[in-house]
Amino acid sequence: MTDNLQNASWLITGASGSFGKKALEILLTEYSPRRIVIFSRDELKQFEMREQFPERKYSCLRYFLGDVRDADRLRRAFDGVEYVIHAAALKQVPAAEYNPIEAIKTNVHGAINVIDAAIDRGIKKVIALSTDKAANPVNLYGATKLCSDKLFINANNYSGTHPARFSVVRYGNVMGSRGSVIPFFTGRRKTGVLPITDPRMTRFWITLDQGVRFVLNSFVRMHGGELYVPKIPSMKITDLATAMAPECKQEIVGIRPGEKLHEIMITEDDSRHTREMDDHYAILPEPSEGAHDHHPMANTGVACPEGFRFSSDTNKQWISGPELMEMLKKHKMIPV
């Protein structure tokens, strides 16, 4: 799969975050990139990335300070780029609830700017990162990401004669990423108490490495308009807490505003146009009114039954406590 992406020119928005750094590492070591543009607005994080990945050692790297809210800066950065990974977002649920307009400016208006710049600059393919919170959203962050998903999927309808094609990848919580519960629990172990919002709560889990590789592989499989969902396991939040800190007391503190008991990645309504593959699902775009063309993937895999729902509480795959600890050690998220 990687052959088609060798010696290519890349740009990653929000590239100084957890996903961007891991994507940069994999692209540099496995894809022989001709050029990689690191596009983000945080100069300190870019400085830290430069320390780890200096341009004197990696001549293909370009560090661009910029915000996806700035359409002109995006157009400048996209010049000569073939593939774009759109990872920039305001993603903290409580912060988005309190600062809704800021979340909309970045997650929705920023998505529009990325789409327009990709079309204008002749980008080949764009994949936008989504979240399980975008399916049946109950918080503003999820609502902005659902809107973003729709924008990217439907961007294929108005790219016209331009080559740009757009798809979306949606997955669950990333182990060890900034703001995730794993580093939070690690920090609270010394207090002897781990706060649990609700003992029934379940979540999807994926490692950063798995998430990046799924996105890169999706560039090869995509035609435009698909929303890809990896088959990943679930875990109860109480099992996570017990595995990480068996000596700690678990204190029930109640669900936070905008939080769900269980997460969904494919809804019943989406099931009508979802195809199941060996390791992932593909939600295909609904045909436009009056259109007769079938999507190229319409006959691939197996059609999901109507009413199918990919939810963290009814998932077929589950992670046990010992399995989780092995994964955390393997990926150096806790001391070995």
Rounded mean pLDDT of 278-300? Answer: 81
Residue 11 three-state SS: strand
Distance CA 60, CA 20 (A): 16
pLDDT digits (tens, 9 = 90+) for 219-271: 999 999 999 999 999 999 999 899 888 999 999 999 887 788 999 999 999 99
Map tokens 């593939």 to a residue: 83
Among residues 321, 193, 181, the alpha carbon closest in space to that of 247 is found at 193
Mean pLDDT within 75-97? 95
Domain 2-172+206-231+265-309: state its class.
alpha beta
144-173 tens-digit pLDDT: 999 999 999 999 998 888 999 999 999 988
Using 50, 70 and 90 to split pLDDT, how confident is the model at 288? Answer: low
Average pLDDT of span 22-27: 96
What pLDDT was estimated at residue 257?
Answer: 79
The confidence score (pLDDT) of residue 293 equals 60
Please write the tens of the pLDDT for every residue from 302-321.
999 989 999 999 999 999 87
As given in the structure block, the two tokens for residue 244 are 């990480």
pTM for this model (two decimals): 0.93
How far apart CA 160 and CA 77 sit, in angstroms, is: 22
- State pLDDT tens for residues 175-209: 867 667 888 888 888 899 999 999 999 999 999 99
Return all residues near 314 (Cβ < 8 A) that are at least 6 apart.
Answer: none
Residue 332 confidence class, pLDDT cut points 50, 70, 90? low
**Environment class of 237 (CB within 10 Å of its CB; exposed 0-12, middle 13-18, buried 19+):** buried
Closest by Cα among 254, 271, 256, 261 to 310? 271
Whether residue 62 is predicted with pLDDT greater than 50 in this model: the reply is yes
Query: Would you name the residues annotated as active-site residues?
Result: 133
How does 199-225 read in b/e, with b if 16+ C-beta sit within 10 Å?
eebbbbbbbbebbbbbbbbbbeebebb
Report the alpha-carbon distance of residue 90 to residue 107 in Å, rounded.
7
Q: Please tell me the predicted confidence (pLDDT) of residue 179.
A: 64
pLDDT of residue 290: 47
Give the pLDDT of residue 1: 43
The H helix count followed by the E strand count for the chain is 11, 17
Contact 96, 144 (CB under 8 A): yes
Report the pLDDT value the prediction gives residue 4, as an integer from 0 to 100.
Answer: 76
Is 230:184 a contact under the CB 8 Å cutoff?
no
Domain ranges of the chain: 2-172+206-231+265-309
Mean pLDDT of the chain, nearest integer: 92
pLDDT band at residue 134 under the 50/70/90 scheme: very high
